[in-house]
Amino acid sequence: MQVLALGSGAGGGFPQWNCACRNCSALRAGTFRGKPRTQAQLAVCADGNAWFLLGASPDLRAQIEAVPQLQPSKGQLRQSPVTGVLLASAEVDHVLGLLSLRELQPLEVYSTPSIRRILREDNSIFRMLNRVPGQVQWVDIVPGQHFWLQSGSEQSLRCQAVSLVSKFPAYVPEPKLPELAAQEALLGLILDAPPGKRLGYFPAVPEVDENLLNILDSTDLLFFDGTFWSDDELIRVLGQGQTARQMGHIPVSGPYGSLERLASLQRPRKIFLHINNTNPMLDEAGEEYRALRAAGWEIAEDGWQFQL
């Protein structure tokens, strides 16, 4: 399986358009030792032809143009190797890119029924994906059950969605919530690559219990929530706001942070992704970066490619 990290930042990217924090300011000034990042986006391919997107970031159009593998093959006027999109949540930063895929290209979008209903029933702009017959096929997935990403009539990649305890996005109207299933709000994604290799995609993780630890340790390549370094990071930078945990992200450092909670993992190559622009570990000259490298972690960069 080929894996492309097309984007590695959290919502807003790095630098963020309205942010003048220490990181964003230094990056704009050209004095930052670290990379700019578009919003988190992975693409995977098992057979060399059909590519599947994990999420659909607001930066998707530029991310597709950045890699030849995702561009139309020569000799066809309208064609795309992008075959399907697998959604892990209904968060804006994770679904807005679907609207960049509205040019009547046949696609399959895999999501839980609750995520599908939020997008299709309450947000009429997504009807642009179903203007003509045979455009987007919406495929329901059930957390905990295996399913296959399809390329035409062929089974391409075997997947499993892991339900994570979380809330639906803030834009979902209150009266809608009783109609939705809480276990369908936020998923981690496991993809099995022949022969016997496994990818884990967990860009938002509110907490880690023993069951999740075992699942994470069954992967060979793990992309994990690196949104915030500390629980009070945004409050420290902005003087107000929510903690990382209140926003549904286990912080990297501190008691019960991901460095501590995931220290026992034996199997996977461990890579932080979905990194917020305020996170001090983006600074490769800083002690936070040194600390996570010493703990065996890496930070994803836009354009990284992997073979599983």
Binding site for Zn ion (CB under 5 A): 19, 21, 24, 277
Q: Which is nearer to Zn ion, 151 or 277 (CB)?
A: 277
Q: Which is nearer to Zn ion, 24 or 204 (CB)?
A: 24
Q: Both tokens of residue 258? A: 């991901």
Closest residue by Cα to residue 286 from 74, 18, 22: 22
Q: Which is nearer to Zn ion, 39 or 83 (CB)?
A: 39
* 29 CB-near residues (< 8 Å, 6+ apart): none
Minimum separation from the CB atom of position 37 to Zn ion (A): 11
Q: Both tokens of residue 9? A: 């930042």
Q: Which is nearer to Zn ion, 33 or 127 (CB)?
A: 33
Q: Which is nearer to Zn ion, 84 or 251 (CB)?
A: 251
Which stretches does DSSP call E strand in 129-282? Answer: 136-140, 146-151, 154-164, 186-193, 197-202, 221-225, 269-273
Minimum separation from the CB atom of position 25 to Zn ion (A): 8
Q: Which is nearer to Zn ion, 34 or 84 (CB)?
A: 34
C-alpha torsion sign, points 176, 179, 181, 187: negative
- Distance of CA 304 to CAs 44, 48, 167, Å? 12, 17, 31
* 299 CB-near residues (< 8 Å, 6+ apart): 8, 226, 271, 272, 273, 275, 281, 282, 289, 292
Minimum separation from the CB atom of position 36 to Zn ion (A): 11
Minimum separation from the CB atom of position 278 to Zn ion (A): 5
In angstroms, rounded to a whole number, what is the distance separating the alpha carbons of residues 191 and 52?
A: 11
Minimum separation from the CB atom of position 241 to Zn ion (A): 13
Minimum separation from the CB atom of position 23 to Zn ion (A): 5
Q: Both tokens of residue 159? A: 């997947």
